[in-house]
Amino acid sequence: MLSKMPMTNVAVLTHPPLLREESVIDGVCEQLRAGRIQGNLDELVEDLNARREEDPRDWPEYARACRRHPVCSLLHQDPFTHRAFAKPRGYAGDAVMMDYIYGLGEAREAARNATPLGRAIFQHFVETRPSSKAVRYRRRLIAGLIDRAARRDGARVLAIAAGHLREVELSTAMQSGMIREFTALDQDEASLAVVQRDYAYLGVRTIRESVRQILCGKAKLGQYDFVYAAGLFDYLSDPVAKALTCRMFEMTRPGGMMLIPNFLTGTPDAAYMEAFMDWNLIYRNQSDMMALTADLPRSAVADCRVFDDENEAITFLLVTRAG
């Protein structure tokens, strides 16, 4: 159990105690030990969010303290939470974690190998939480935009930081061979190997390149009817994000589309992700997304829209280049 700091005047003013008098985290820990999931996980997430909003300066220390609390070992029985924390590919939010949310790839094996408690927590987070629902919405949205791009003759599509490219399974145009060229770019060799194995039959071409190589112009990719980066901008600082936005726009054909999703400021699962998954993103609101377009040539922009998913967890920037 986390211990309180002494209630001296100095401590109260400069370094609040980590726990309230009746801590939600302690109560949830006892409920999880008893195998009671329903309602308790959501209560924990809500309490974490409240702490993050109330004390932003002290939140990072509290988040680290959460990982020393006994509840952490219970939550890490969930393969989704534990994988983000363990970072087997060097970063949280890898393509395997997206497969967990989609129920594809290693998802069934991960659930089967988990403890009963871990399996229940896993199911709760990937099926019911807003962020997971938003990730599935993002997949459907991208598939629909691939289909829209296919209306153009000789359509070409580019996915940057493609991951496992699971959206192509939902695209009618991809399944029916209506996309002339689909390029999946990623710096993760393991992700590209999965894309090659699962989608080479659809004509998907894989390229191993980094964002740095795109920005410095070493990646000679040409122009596409649809250019998108599904989960990349959550990790990019504003200067890098703005530069990549310009580069992606340059790679968009006249009349084509560019899509940039980003986890939304205030997303309901941010505090849990930071506390127990050590998963820290750069969140943006609609104004932040519009700011990414500041250096685009206005005369070349036919349409620019920012919108959120219905779960208010991911925001999207969709730019159409003038034809």
How many degrees, rounded to 5, is the angle at CA 314 between CA 170 and CA 247? Answer: 80
Q: How confident is the model at residue 18 (pLDDT cuts 50, 70, 90)?
A: low
Torsion sign (Cα): 208, 213, 218, 219: positive
| Residue 255: DSSP 8-state | E
pLDDT score, position 218: 73
Ranges of each domain in the chain: 24-129, 132-268+280-321
The CATH number of the structural domain formed by 132-268+280-321 is 3.40.50.150
What does pLDDT average to over the chain?
A: 93
Name 264's bridge partners: 284
Report which residue type is found at 259: L
pLDDT digits (tens, 9 = 90+) for 260-278: 999 999 999 999 999 999 9
Q: How big, in percent rounded to 5, are the helix, strand and coil portions of the chain?
A: 50, 15, 35
What is the crossing angle of helices 40-54 and 116-128, to 10°? 60
pLDDT digits (tens, 9 = 90+) for 232-259: 999 999 999 999 999 999 999 999 999 9
For the chain, state the CA radius of gyration: 21
pLDDT digits (tens, 9 = 90+) for 105-148: 999 999 999 999 999 999 999 999 999 999 999 999 999 999 99
Q: What is the enclosing helix (H) or strand (E) of 319?
A: strand 314-321
pLDDT value at 51 more than 90: yes
Alpha-carbon distance of 122 to 99, in angstroms, equals: 13
The structure tokens listed for 144 are 């629909």
The SS3 of residue 277 is coil
Residue (of 143, 133, 147, 188) closest to 166 by Cα position: 143
Overall pTM > 0.85: yes
